[in-house]
Chains A and B, each alone.
Chain A
Amino acid sequence: MFRHTALRYTALVLLAAGALFQAFTAEYFGLEILTEILILAMLVLALDIVAGFGGMVSLCHGALMGVGAYAFAILSTKAGIAPPVAMAGAVALTGGIGWIIGAICSRSHGIYFIMATLAFGQMAYSYVFEAPIFGGDDGLGGISRLDLSIIGVDLNDSRSFALFCLAVLGAIYGASVLILRSGPGRSLSGVMHNEQRMRALGLTVWRVKADVFGLSGMIAGVAGALAAQHILYISPALLSWTVSGEALVVVILGGLGTLVGPLVGAAAFVVLKHELSAVTTYWHLVVGLLLIAVVMSRANGLFGWVEARWGARIERRMADATRKQQPEEVLSDA
């Protein structure tokens, strides 16, 4: 089960403070980067729930995000539905699709699970690419952002939009913690550690996997709908498998199964990407080498590494404390 430690709270507070500072001080370009980080953070949270706490390494989360973006765009522009309703519809649709994928893939494990989710993701990609309603390779434009003028917020302003995304990310983080602490979330952790035992305990394993995968899909759908509103233009590239692969890279670089780690990873990844692409066009090379180094070091990503060091320090301190106590105990025994 997911627990907050002092270190995790500290990291969260620092991240939130950094994001708020950036949101209030940065200029247009800084705000765009912040929004990009926030939306990527939602996607990697969704992926970390299934991959880090359920062992379901999904290569279709990028596609789920793309489905959310396209559903929002189609519903709000072509079907003429009000943006908030369209967004709810898009989230419900991705959740439903996620549930179905989770249910179908629940019997597969390891590399077969990865391949099966990849297949579903590519299926969505090809369909969107070829069906005329989605605009094919040209993508879709003319998307409008949510209208929050009722509460006096104009989302067409980048600063307001970044703050709105931050608020949504905060809500999603809270929801993720709730999901992981709920019955299905705890059962999923059990399934990851020993599927047979959970089955023997009378759990309907496929159902738990499908439920959590569906919830994770809904989060990806929110990320997608916001991504569509961020760039105001969407193309099939959003559904490409490399997006899912990159999301997985971010989760791994940050720290699988820590929920806070992927947030760190998202910030690090986007900043690194922008900094490197300003210096060299070969930023993939650096990211690739970094990924290889992180995986080969056997640390659980950046945040996982910090956590492990922290845990070792506390353990050492406890060991020191018990060593100091022991002579006294011996004395009192005598």
Chain B
Amino acid sequence: MAHDLGFWILQALNALQLSMLLFLLSIGLTVIFGLMHFVNLAHGSFYALGAYFAASLAAVGGYWMGFFLAPVAVAGVGILLYSGLIKRMRKSGPMAQVLVTFGLIFVLLDVTRIVWGELALAIDVPALLSGRLSFLGVEYPTYRLFIIVLGLGIFAALAFVLGRTQIGAMIRAGVDNDAMAACLGINVERLFFIVFCVGCALAGLSGAVAAPLLSVAPDMGLQILIPTLIVIVIGGLGSLKGAVAGSLIYGFVQTFGAVLAPGLASVLIYALLAAVLVIKPVGLFPAKG
């Protein structure tokens, strides 16, 4: 079994699917981080909110309604929090930001428990994407392939926007040197607001996409937070390349680690993170040289 090519393809697809889910989450966080040096620990809570919104909307109008509207709803929550709280924390140090967003995790965790209850919710895979596809000689669930394609699609779109459009150039300039970008007439504050909303929407989207795979439980945001932070720290803050590289490294190390060395799988990824931090303290592909 373990020497069968199909088995390895299957594991590679699993790893890729995990990577893409993490990529959707980490890209928003990393650009918020890189653009404004803002540490948002509550990003995982946005992911949980996305999953809950998707579950509720799916119960009303089917899966696709949840898929399209959950990111919008999460972005709405993001806007509320931004104007009420985060805007005022922009100038304080990373320590204060970590603590405020840590408090926010507690608050959002209990708010989801109050609104949706303790029990885990489940939503079904849409009919269009249920079943399995034969791919490279292995049978693979269509829905997981859909996640991989979606992740790659979003990656391509973001690479295009960040690399080829004017707003992308402005964001890159802001990440590189925000004071200089502001001097050149770029409204960095507004840019940050847009990036923050898109980041929240992507977190909501990944929650909505992950909902049919995992059960939707209040602590799902806490559980995904650490992997997401590992991804962006390994990859380096603020860069698309870093987020992709970090997600792929995490996905493959985690999946293949679980297959090859089950006892060491979870230690492996933390050891890797520690090694990266010791050798390259700012991550593999930091946005700033």
Interface membership of A15, Cβ < 8 A: no
Q: A2 CB to closest chain B CB, in angstroms?
A: 20
Q: Which residues of B contact A291 (CB under 8 A)?
A: 99-100, 102-103, 106
B60 to chain A, nearest CB (A): 26
B residues in contact with A252, CB < 8 Å: 99
* In the complex, chain A residues whose CB is within 8 Å of the CB of B109: 284, 288
> Total interface residues on A, using CB and 8 Å?
40
Residues A111 and B39 in contact, CB atoms below 8 Å apart: yes
A119 in contact with B222 (CB, 8 Å): no
**B282 on the A face (CB < 8 A):** yes
Once bound together, how far apart are the Cα atoms of A287 and B108, in whole Å?
Answer: 12
Q: Tell me which of B187-195, B208-216, B272-280 binds A.
A: B272-280
Q: How far is B135's CA from A163's CA once the two chains are assembled, in angstroms?
A: 67
Residues of B within 8 A of A105 (CB): 277
Give CA–CA (A110, B278) in the complex, Å: 15
- Asked whether B281 lies within 8 Å of A284 as measured between CB atoms, the reply is no
Stretch at the interface among A32-40, A127-135, A307-315: A127-135
Q: Kindly provide the distance from the CB of A322 to the nearest chain B CB, expressed in whole angstroms.
A: 34
B100–A295 touching, CB < 8 Å? yes
Q: Are B106 and A112 in contact (CB under 8 A)?
A: no
- Contact at A119–B100, with CB atoms within 8 Å? no
Q: Is the CB of B274 within 8 A of A120?
A: yes
Q: Are B281 and A112 in contact, CB atoms less than 8 angstroms apart? A: yes
Min C-beta distance of A213 to chain B, whole Å: 15
Cβ distance A215 to chain B, nearest Cβ, rounded Å: 22
| Distance between Cα atoms of A324 and B274 in the complex (Å) | 61
Quick check: B98 and A292 within 8 Å, CB to CB? no
Q: Are B103 and A289 in contact (CB under 8 A)?
A: yes
Q: Is the CB of A288 within 8 A of B110?
A: yes
- The closest CB in chain A to the CB of B108 belongs to A288
Provide the bound-state CA to CA distance between A149 and B223, in Å. Answer: 45
For residue B266, CB closer than 8 A to chain A, the reply is yes
Q: For chain A residues 17-36, which have a beta carbon within 8 Å of chain B?
A: none
Stretch from A68-76, A178-186, A224-232, A242-250 that touches the partner: A242-250
Q: CB distance B85 to A292 under 8 Å?
A: yes
Q: Nearest B residue to A292 by beta-carbon distance?
A: B103
B85 and chain A: residue at smallest CB distance? A292
* Interface residue B119 (Cβ < 8 Å from any Cβ of A): no
Asked if A123 is at the interface (CB within 8 A of a chain B CB), the reply is yes
**Does B288 count as interface, using CB distance less than 8 angstroms?**
no
Chain A residues near B264: list those with CB within 8 A: 130
Contact of B222 with A242 in the complex, beta carbons under 8 Å = yes
Distance in angstroms from A217 CB to nearest chain B CB is: 16
> Could you tell me the distance in whole angstroms from the C-beta of B149 to the nearest C-beta in chain A?
31
Whether A104 sits at the interface, judged by CB under 8 Å, is yes
Q: Which residues of A contact B233 (CB under 8 A)?
A: 112, 115, 119
Indicate if A86 sits at the interface (CB-CB under 8 A): no
Q: Are A296 and B100 in contact (CB under 8 A)?
A: yes
Tell me if B96 counts as interface (CB < 8 A to partner A): yes
B230 at the binding interface (Cβ < 8 Å): yes
A112 to B283, CA, bound (A): 9
Q: Is B104 positioned at the interface, with any CB of A under 8 Å from its CB?
A: yes
A303 vs B270: C-alpha distance when bound (angstroms): 36
- Tell me if A288 and B267 are in contact (CB < 8 A): no
A104/B278 in contact, CB under 8 A: yes
The 8 lowest CB-CB distance pairs between A and B, nearest first, are A288-B106, A291-B103, A126-B266, A285-B110, A123-B270, A288-B107, A292-B103, A288-B103
